[in-house]
Amino acid sequence: MGKIIGTKTPQQALDSLVNMTGDLRPIELSEYKARIAKAQHYMQENGIGALYLNAGTNLAYFTGMQWYASERLVGALLPAKGDVVYLAPTFEIDSLNERKLVEGNIIGWQEHESPYALAIAMLDKLNTAGGDKLGVDESTQFFIVDGLNKMLGQSWQIINGAEVTAHCRMHKSNNELALIQRAMDMTLAVHKATASMLYEGITTTEVEAFINDAHKKVGATGNYFCIVLFGKATSFPHGVKDPQVLKKNDLVLIDTGCKVHGYLSDITRTYCFGEPTDKQRALWESEKRAQLAAFNAAKVGVSCGDVDKAARDSLAKD
């Protein structure tokens, strides 16, 4: 890394990047349908009659519908058998229809009506395959869960929908892995370009702007998030409130990522702008040993907690 830090102008660094998304394939309708089929098979096997998917990542994962969680219920009911049914304010139906990939009726509710009563009424019309559990998307806001719970009859039991969503989402398809890997490759290229354009006196704000432009250059819409820290501020992993100015021999911490067809990268890099002190070098080497200990511990059948413990034990030895 030391051989590339501060060797280019910002424009030269930007010019070294190319679009890396040309050969990527977004998630297709057939994959969304396969996800639904997998979820429904699990639901039938475990007495889960329906799954409520709230606006956000779970709704997008199973249906491709890109919508945001807000103060109004927008989501979908996935029955144990049959087609998904979308729920939304009536005035949003046309907007949702524009974004709909997986077919299903959109049932609307007016502002003076209860969306929770509508959702529970729909349960009686869906094929629940005899299941008496309603799984609720684990990211659903409390006011929605509370509203559903108050309307739900005694014959139904609300459970954490993560039982279904995690069962499906923790195992990635080949295309998902390809999208994640490319997003990571893109951000790694951005990291290298950023290191090459650093110079004494540049501000963290300027570096953040460069990283945003660099992510666009490699084919993303920009930064999904970005944290740039110099010097003492690198000891605050998620940032400080004021920008910093880069000085010779400062530590640099950059934590950033982008989104590619709905899949994210997240890479942190820490290095020295100049010549590291003995203390800086020792801290960096200790962190590297902890990371390698975690990598070595990560094997099939080993829990995440044990991987974390391997890293902590390594740090404790130092």
pLDDT (tens digit, 9 = 90+) per residue, 160-183? 999 999 999 999 999 999 999 999
Residue 198 has which token pair? Answer: 């650093």
3-state SS class at 94: helix
Segment 109-134, tens digit of pLDDT = 999 999 999 999 999 899 999 999 99
Q: Would you kindly state where each structural domain of the chain is located, as residue ranges?
A: 10-23+172-317, 46-169
Residue 155 has pLDDT above 90, yes or no: no
Q: How confident is the model at residue 154 (pLDDT cuts 50, 70, 90)?
A: confident
Instruction: Say what the pTM is.
Output: 0.91
Segment 189-236, tens digit of pLDDT = 999 999 999 999 999 999 999 999 999 999 999 999 999 999 999 999
CB atoms within 10 A of CB 217: 20
- CATH for 46-169? 3.40.350.10
**Quick check: do 10-23+172-317 and 46-169 share a fold?**
no
Beta strands in 55-149 (DSSP E): 75-79, 85-89, 106-109, 133-136
How much is the pLDDT for 2? 57
CA dist., res. 216 & res. 18, Å (int): 9
Segment 30-50, tens digit of pLDDT = 999 999 999 999 999 999 999
Question: Could you name the CATH architecture of 10-23+172-317?
Answer: Alpha-Beta Complex (3.90)
| 290 or 238, higher pLDDT | 290
Q: 191 to each of 88, 123, 288, how far by Cα in Å?
A: 41, 49, 18
